[in-house]
Structure 1
């Protein structure tokens, strides 16, 4: 399990994953070496899986988004999900109940690329059929 001090470090990283070791050390009032040791431990334990990039809305809104419902052969659903996540334009795969087994979230720059991705998804071993919906607009609470 992780300590309270490590939780504080994680919270700072959630706020700004690009913070320098020096900045983190200053905010936590510990040495740089202490921060490095704690980060190494969290990485080793698998608590920190990766340091990622979160794209801003001004960039993302230029993409075409689609939800692709996917029916799979039941015995291959997990393998299908893993294969889908290897397609760079597939950002998420949700396991669902009902007529379809998975929903893949796809983001592309053009409809031509989307068409190619949909074909690539259909070819994945274990995919029985798909049904795609392109997102036209998004409304959300503020």
Structure 2
């Protein structure tokens, strides 16, 4: 990937639905160049797909939480188990006190309780700490 690819990806991260003509103007290249670059990035698996980002208040009944996890032993086994857990929206490798950070999104407190219970039972998870999202001040 060259500088143009990186700049194109940055524009698409900001607005994945930006018209090719607008991207071409912003990046100072032809529409054909943008179309070809996007096709190559998709074909090579660099762009794996497009998604929709929702405002935090767009799903007011959804509960968001973050669970920090300490892992003993085979971290890959724990990661595979967490990625198969329906309540885990995203999973991040971290440094410091905790080994992993799981972003949870569930429909109710009962769902959160069940998700946390299943996470705690994963072999290799030695400790967890969970914080529930209450309010966003800047998003």
Short-chain TM bin: 0.7 to 0.9
TM-score where L is the length of structure 2: 0.72
Partner of 2:102: 104
After superposition, where does 1:29-108 map in structure 2 within 5 Å? 30-31=30-31, 33-73=32-72, 75-94=73-92, 95-98=94-97, 100-108=98-106
Looking at structure 1, the residues matched to 95 and 6 of structure 2 have their Cα atoms a distance apart, in angstroms, of: 32
Q: Which runs of 5+ in 2 are unaligned?
A: none
The structure-2 alpha-carbon separation of the partners of 1:85 and 1:60, relative to structure 1 and needing over 3 Å to count, comes to farther
TM-score where L is the length of structure 1: 0.71
Q: CA RMSD in A?
A: 2.9
Give 2:132's match in structure 1, choosing from 124, 131, 134.
134
Q: Which runs of 5+ in 1 are unaligned?
A: none
Looking at structure 2, the residues matched to 23 and 138 of structure 1 have their Cα atoms a distance apart, in angstroms, of: 31
**Residue-pair matches, total:** 137
The 8 Å contact of residues 67 and 131 in structure 2, kept in 1 or not, is answered as: yes
